[in-house]
């Protein structure tokens, strides 16, 4: 009988992940293995993989081991590595709770974007029950442009640890089928690729978005994207918490649900939403090996 690798499946506002617990970092999770796991027809299917490793056992996280016991080694569905995944951190925390590594309340998670503080609420407030401190947004100078077919829009360049281009549009249908990455200019602005958000207004402090994620295609939600959208919407609306001392809160509807984002006067951004574990199982190691050959 071939070796089995334990996995779980989870999602946050339908941004879905294969979770692979590997505390001692013993698995060789190559880009091809990640892509095989995320394949929605031949694999388990997901937008990305959450490789769960003890910080002390991962070369990229060892420095954070004193602050956070667990490292989220996040990979996009095509096997590429990303700096951060906002929904991923919330689902990662839910997994740690599910596995009995942590309880409700506060915890820390090491990511490539630094140590993130997470709070798992005892009761769902209605907005979902896992909150993550996402850190500060960076707003690099210079306007970018996003295009779809014959249309193009000015967009805001927002960095949430990972890169985003946020375009306000009249109708989310104008984003088209999003089967391929929308072109973003000027060329060379995002040498490592970019996540692109299309946004419409729903009401004051309430927007809706679609996203094309670097490395995953169109997804049903993107946490870092929703934060980038909230910050872009706040600046467009003349709200700058650092300047006014007043927090700015935006409700961001995504195809897979709703996220609530608050930017505090110190610049810290908090995101709240649901995070769910839906299944557990075993991967056939031989299949994974052959799928990556
Ligand atoms: N879905 C994620 C973002 C995942 C990484 C992104 N595709 C990238 O390459 O930057 C989120 O919830 O933030």
Note whether residue 263 is domain-resident. yes
Same-domain status, 197 and 93:
no
Chain centre distance of CA 83: 10
Rg (CA), the chain: 19
214 carries a ligand binding annotation: yes
| Tally of structural domains, the chain | 2
Residue range(s) defining the domain that contains residue 81: 4-134+276-291
Whether 170 maps to a domain, the answer reads yes
> 248 — phi, psi (to 5°)?
-115, 125
Collect all residues with Cβ–Cβ distance below 8 Å to 241 and sequence separation of at least 6: 234, 247, 248, 263, 264, 265, 267
Task: Establish if 241 belongs to a structural domain.
Answer: yes
The verdict on residue 139 lying in a domain is: no
**Do residues 157 and 40 both lie within one domain?**
no
Q: Is residue 260 part of a domain?
A: yes
Tell me the CA–centroid distance for residue 204 and ligand 1, in Å. 26
d(CA 128, CA 273): 4
Q: Is the domain of 100 the same as that of 165?
A: no
Instruction: State ipTM.
Output: 0.97
Distance CA 275, CA 92 (A): 9
* Predicted local confidence at residue 142, as pLDDT: 86
Q: Same domain, yes or no, for 123 and 21?
A: yes
Position 1 scores a pLDDT of 62
Pick the residue whose CA is nearest to atom 1 on ligand 1: 222
Q: Please check whether residues 20 and 128 belong to one and the same domain.
A: yes
Residue 40 lies in a domain: yes
Q: Do residues 103 and 161 both lie within one domain?
A: no
CATH number for the domain including 257?
Answer: 3.10.310.10
Counting as low any pLDDT under 50, the low residues of the chain are: none
**From the CB of 13, is ligand 1 less than 6 Å away?**
no
Pair 11, 130 in one domain: yes
DSSP letter for 8, please. Answer: E
For residue 85, indicate whether it is catalytic. yes
Residue 206 maps to a domain: yes
Residue 195 included in any domain: yes
- The residue whose CA is least distant from atom 3 of ligand 1 is 85
Determine whether the shortest distance from the Cβ of 272 to ligand 1 is under 6 A. Answer: no
Answer yes or no: do 159 and 93 share one domain.
no
User: Are both 10 and 130 inside the same structural domain?
Assistant: yes
Q: Which of 85, 133, 274 to mutate to test the pocket of ligand 1 (most atoms within 8 A of CB)?
A: 85
Quick one: what percent of the chain has pLDDT higher than 70?
A: 98
Residues 109 and 229 in one domain: no
């Amino acid at each position: 009988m071939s070796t089995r690798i334990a996995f779980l499946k989870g999602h946050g506002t339908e941004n879905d992940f294969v979770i692979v617990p590997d505390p001692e970092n013993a698995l060789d999770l190559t880009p091809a293995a990640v892509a095989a796991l995320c394949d929605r027809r031949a694999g388990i299917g997901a937008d990305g993989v959450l490789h769960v490793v003890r910080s002390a056992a991962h070369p990229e996280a060892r420095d954070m081991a004193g602050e956070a016991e667990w490292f989220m080694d996040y990979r996009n569905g095509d096997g590429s590595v990303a700096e951060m995944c906002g929904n991923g951190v919330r689902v990662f925390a839910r997994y740690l709770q599910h596995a009995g590594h942590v309880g409700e309340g506060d915890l820390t998670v090491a990511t490539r974007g630094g140590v993130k503080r997470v709070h798992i609420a005892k009761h769902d407030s209605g907005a979902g029950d896992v909150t993550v401190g996402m850190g500060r947004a960076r707003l690099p100078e210079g306007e970018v442009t996003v295009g779809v077919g014959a249309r193009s829009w000015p967009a805001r360049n927002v960095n949430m640890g990972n890169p985003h281009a946020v375009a306000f549009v009249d109708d989310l249908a104008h984003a088209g089928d999003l089967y391929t990455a929308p072109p973003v200019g000027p060329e060379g602005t995002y040498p490592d690729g970019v996540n692109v958000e299309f946004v419409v207004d729903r009401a004051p402090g309430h927007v809706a978005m679609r996203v094309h994620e670097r490395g995953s295609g169109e997804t049903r939600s993107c946490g870092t994207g929703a934060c980038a959208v909230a910050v872009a919407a706040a600046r467009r609306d003349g709200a700058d918490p650092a300047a006014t001392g007043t927090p700015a809160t935006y409700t961001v509807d995504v195809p897979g649900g709703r996220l609530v984002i608050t930017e505090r006067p110190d610049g810290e951004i908090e995101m709240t939403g649901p995070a769910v574990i839906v299944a557990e199982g075993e991967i056939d190691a031989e299949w994974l090996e052959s799928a990556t050959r």
